[in-house]
Amino acid sequence: MPMARHVPLDERRPQLIDATIRVIAREGVARATTRRIAEEADASLASLHYGFANKEELFAAVAEHVVGRIDETLRARPAPEDRDLAGVVRDLLVFLHDEAVADPGLQAAQFELIAWARRTPTHHHLAEQCHALFARSLVATLGLATDAAGVPLAHLADLVMATTDGIAIRVLAGGPDVWAGTDFAALAAGLVAAAREYRPDGTGSAD
Protein backbone atom coordinates (compact mmCIF):
# COMPACT_ATOMS: atom_id res chain seq x y z
CA MET A 1 0.00 0.00 0.00
CA PRO A 2 1.49 3.39 -0.96
CA MET A 3 2.30 5.73 1.89
CA ALA A 4 0.06 8.76 2.32
CA ARG A 5 1.63 11.99 1.09
CA HIS A 6 2.98 14.15 3.88
CA VAL A 7 1.07 17.44 3.96
CA PRO A 8 2.97 20.43 5.40
CA LEU A 9 1.33 22.14 8.37
CA ASP A 10 0.76 25.43 6.52
CA GLU A 11 -1.22 23.45 3.93
CA ARG A 12 -2.95 21.13 6.39
CA ARG A 13 -4.33 23.86 8.67
CA PRO A 14 -6.47 25.51 5.93
CA GLN A 15 -7.73 22.06 4.91
CA LEU A 16 -8.80 21.37 8.49
CA ILE A 17 -10.47 24.78 8.77
CA ASP A 18 -12.44 24.21 5.55
CA ALA A 19 -13.40 20.71 6.70
CA THR A 20 -14.61 22.12 10.02
CA ILE A 21 -16.81 24.66 8.23
CA ARG A 22 -18.39 21.89 6.15
CA VAL A 23 -19.03 19.65 9.16
CA ILE A 24 -20.47 22.45 11.30
CA ALA A 25 -22.67 23.70 8.46
CA ARG A 26 -23.97 20.21 7.79
CA GLU A 27 -24.17 18.71 11.29
CA GLY A 28 -23.79 21.52 13.83
CA VAL A 29 -21.15 22.32 16.43
CA ALA A 30 -22.18 19.52 18.79
CA ARG A 31 -21.38 16.84 16.22
CA ALA A 32 -18.20 18.45 14.97
CA THR A 33 -15.82 16.15 16.84
CA THR A 34 -12.12 16.17 16.06
CA ARG A 35 -12.45 12.65 14.65
CA ARG A 36 -15.31 13.68 12.37
CA ILE A 37 -13.39 16.76 11.18
CA ALA A 38 -10.22 14.74 10.52
CA GLU A 39 -12.24 12.28 8.43
CA GLU A 40 -13.79 15.14 6.46
CA ALA A 41 -10.33 16.56 5.77
CA ASP A 42 -8.96 13.12 4.85
CA ALA A 43 -6.37 13.61 7.58
CA SER A 44 -5.25 11.63 10.60
CA LEU A 45 -6.40 12.62 14.06
CA ALA A 46 -2.74 13.06 14.98
CA SER A 47 -2.24 15.64 12.23
CA LEU A 48 -5.27 17.59 13.45
CA HIS A 49 -3.87 17.73 16.98
CA TYR A 50 -0.48 18.69 15.59
CA GLY A 51 -2.06 21.68 13.86
CA PHE A 52 -4.41 22.63 16.70
CA ALA A 53 -3.94 21.90 20.40
CA ASN A 54 -7.63 21.12 20.90
CA LYS A 55 -11.07 21.57 19.37
CA GLU A 56 -11.56 24.96 21.02
CA GLU A 57 -8.41 26.30 19.35
CA LEU A 58 -9.61 24.92 16.01
CA PHE A 59 -13.07 26.47 16.40
CA ALA A 60 -11.52 29.83 17.29
CA ALA A 61 -9.36 29.67 14.15
CA VAL A 62 -12.42 28.79 12.06
CA ALA A 63 -14.47 31.69 13.46
CA GLU A 64 -11.65 34.14 12.71
CA HIS A 65 -11.26 32.65 9.23
CA VAL A 66 -14.97 32.96 8.41
CA VAL A 67 -15.20 36.61 9.39
CA GLY A 68 -11.79 37.34 7.90
CA ARG A 69 -12.96 35.93 4.58
CA ILE A 70 -15.99 38.24 4.61
CA ASP A 71 -13.71 41.15 5.52
CA GLU A 72 -11.33 40.36 2.64
CA THR A 73 -14.22 40.05 0.20
CA LEU A 74 -15.61 43.42 1.27
CA ARG A 75 -12.22 45.09 0.94
CA ALA A 76 -11.70 43.59 -2.52
CA ARG A 77 -14.88 45.18 -3.88
CA PRO A 78 -14.44 48.28 -6.06
CA ALA A 79 -14.78 51.47 -4.03
CA PRO A 80 -18.11 53.24 -4.58
CA GLU A 81 -17.73 56.40 -6.64
CA ASP A 82 -20.05 59.38 -6.32
CA ARG A 83 -22.60 57.34 -4.38
CA ASP A 84 -24.72 58.58 -1.52
CA LEU A 85 -25.13 56.54 1.66
CA ALA A 86 -28.40 54.98 0.58
CA GLY A 87 -26.74 53.78 -2.62
CA VAL A 88 -23.72 52.38 -0.78
CA VAL A 89 -25.94 50.59 1.75
CA ARG A 90 -28.13 49.20 -1.02
CA ASP A 91 -25.05 47.79 -2.76
CA LEU A 92 -23.87 46.24 0.53
CA LEU A 93 -27.25 44.62 1.17
CA VAL A 94 -27.36 43.14 -2.32
CA PHE A 95 -23.75 41.97 -2.10
CA LEU A 96 -24.19 40.31 1.31
CA HIS A 97 -27.49 38.76 0.19
CA ASP A 98 -25.73 37.29 -2.84
CA GLU A 99 -22.94 35.95 -0.61
CA ALA A 100 -25.51 34.21 1.60
CA VAL A 101 -27.17 32.65 -1.45
CA ALA A 102 -23.84 31.59 -2.96
CA ASP A 103 -22.50 29.91 0.20
CA PRO A 104 -25.24 29.19 2.74
CA GLY A 105 -22.98 26.67 4.47
CA LEU A 106 -20.52 29.41 5.37
CA GLN A 107 -23.35 31.50 6.82
CA ALA A 108 -24.66 28.55 8.85
CA ALA A 109 -21.18 27.85 10.22
CA GLN A 110 -20.74 31.50 11.16
CA PHE A 111 -23.97 31.58 13.18
CA GLU A 112 -23.15 28.26 14.86
CA LEU A 113 -19.66 29.41 15.83
CA ILE A 114 -20.78 32.76 17.25
CA ALA A 115 -23.37 30.94 19.37
CA TRP A 116 -20.65 28.50 20.47
CA ALA A 117 -18.34 31.39 21.42
CA ARG A 118 -21.06 32.97 23.55
CA ARG A 119 -21.63 29.64 25.34
CA THR A 120 -17.92 29.03 25.97
CA PRO A 121 -16.55 31.19 28.82
CA THR A 122 -12.98 31.11 27.52
CA HIS A 123 -14.10 32.34 24.09
CA HIS A 124 -16.75 34.97 24.88
CA HIS A 125 -14.41 37.57 23.44
CA LEU A 126 -14.35 35.86 20.05
CA ALA A 127 -17.94 36.79 19.18
CA GLU A 128 -17.20 40.46 19.87
CA GLN A 129 -13.94 40.31 17.92
CA CYS A 130 -15.80 38.91 14.91
CA HIS A 131 -18.38 41.69 15.19
CA ALA A 132 -15.67 44.35 15.49
CA LEU A 133 -13.80 43.14 12.40
CA PHE A 134 -16.95 43.08 10.28
CA ALA A 135 -18.01 46.48 11.63
CA ARG A 136 -14.66 48.07 10.75
CA SER A 137 -14.95 46.87 7.17
CA LEU A 138 -18.49 48.20 6.85
CA VAL A 139 -17.61 51.58 8.39
CA ALA A 140 -14.69 51.95 5.98
CA THR A 141 -17.00 51.30 3.02
CA LEU A 142 -19.81 53.52 4.33
CA GLY A 143 -17.33 56.33 4.90
CA LEU A 144 -16.71 56.57 1.15
CA ALA A 145 -20.25 57.83 0.52
CA THR A 146 -20.58 61.43 -0.59
CA ASP A 147 -22.96 62.31 2.26
CA ALA A 148 -21.39 60.29 5.08
CA ALA A 149 -20.31 63.31 7.13
CA GLY A 150 -22.27 63.69 10.34
CA VAL A 151 -23.88 60.25 10.16
CA PRO A 152 -23.04 57.80 12.99
CA LEU A 153 -21.45 55.20 10.72
CA ALA A 154 -20.76 52.69 13.50
CA HIS A 155 -24.48 52.62 14.28
CA LEU A 156 -25.36 52.37 10.60
CA ALA A 157 -22.91 49.46 10.30
CA ASP A 158 -24.72 47.74 13.19
CA LEU A 159 -28.04 48.25 11.41
CA VAL A 160 -26.61 46.80 8.20
CA MET A 161 -25.21 43.78 10.09
CA ALA A 162 -28.50 43.15 11.88
CA THR A 163 -30.37 43.35 8.58
CA THR A 164 -28.00 41.10 6.66
CA ASP A 165 -27.97 38.56 9.50
CA GLY A 166 -31.75 38.40 9.16
CA ILE A 167 -31.45 38.12 5.39
CA ALA A 168 -28.99 35.23 5.73
CA ILE A 169 -31.14 33.37 8.28
CA ARG A 170 -34.15 33.71 6.00
CA VAL A 171 -32.10 32.36 3.06
CA LEU A 172 -31.06 29.38 5.19
CA ALA A 173 -34.67 28.73 6.17
CA GLY A 174 -36.46 29.53 2.93
CA GLY A 175 -33.99 28.96 0.12
CA PRO A 176 -32.16 31.16 -2.39
CA ASP A 177 -35.24 32.83 -3.90
CA VAL A 178 -36.90 33.93 -0.67
CA TRP A 179 -35.86 37.57 -1.14
CA ALA A 180 -36.71 37.76 -4.85
CA GLY A 181 -38.49 41.01 -5.61
CA THR A 182 -37.25 42.78 -2.48
CA ASP A 183 -36.73 46.52 -2.92
CA PHE A 184 -33.25 46.76 -1.42
CA ALA A 185 -33.06 50.45 -2.31
CA ALA A 186 -36.08 51.22 -0.11
CA LEU A 187 -34.67 49.05 2.67
CA ALA A 188 -31.33 50.86 2.46
CA ALA A 189 -33.02 54.27 2.57
CA GLY A 190 -34.84 53.23 5.74
CA LEU A 191 -31.61 52.13 7.43
CA VAL A 192 -29.88 55.39 6.55
CA ALA A 193 -32.85 57.40 7.83
CA ALA A 194 -32.79 55.44 11.10
CA ALA A 195 -29.05 56.08 11.49
CA ARG A 196 -29.51 59.81 10.94
CA GLU A 197 -32.07 59.86 13.78
CA TYR A 198 -29.84 57.89 16.15
CA ARG A 199 -28.86 59.55 19.42
CA PRO A 200 -26.48 57.66 21.75
CA ASP A 201 -28.29 59.11 24.78
CA GLY A 202 -31.59 57.62 23.66
CA THR A 203 -33.22 60.94 22.74
CA GLY A 204 -33.70 60.05 19.07
CA SER A 205 -37.09 59.92 17.42
CA ALA A 206 -39.38 57.19 18.77
CA ASP A 207 -41.77 57.40 15.80
Q: How far apart are CA 104 and CA 148, in angstroms?
A: 31
**Residue 6 confidence (pLDDT) above 90:** no
Q: What are phi and psi of 44, to 5 degrees?
A: -80, 155
Q: Is the entire prediction scored with pTM above 0.85?
A: no
Q: What is the mean pLDDT of the chain?
A: 89
- Residue-wise pLDDT tens digits, 163-186: 999 999 999 999 999 999 999 999
The more confidently predicted of residues 85 and 60 is 85
Q: What is the pLDDT of residues 106-162, one digit of tens each?
A: 889 989 988 888 888 888 888 888 888 889 989 999 999 999 999 999 999 999 999
The total of other beta-carbon atoms located within 10 Å of residue 39's CB is 15
Confidence of residue 2 (pLDDT cuts 50, 70, 90): very low
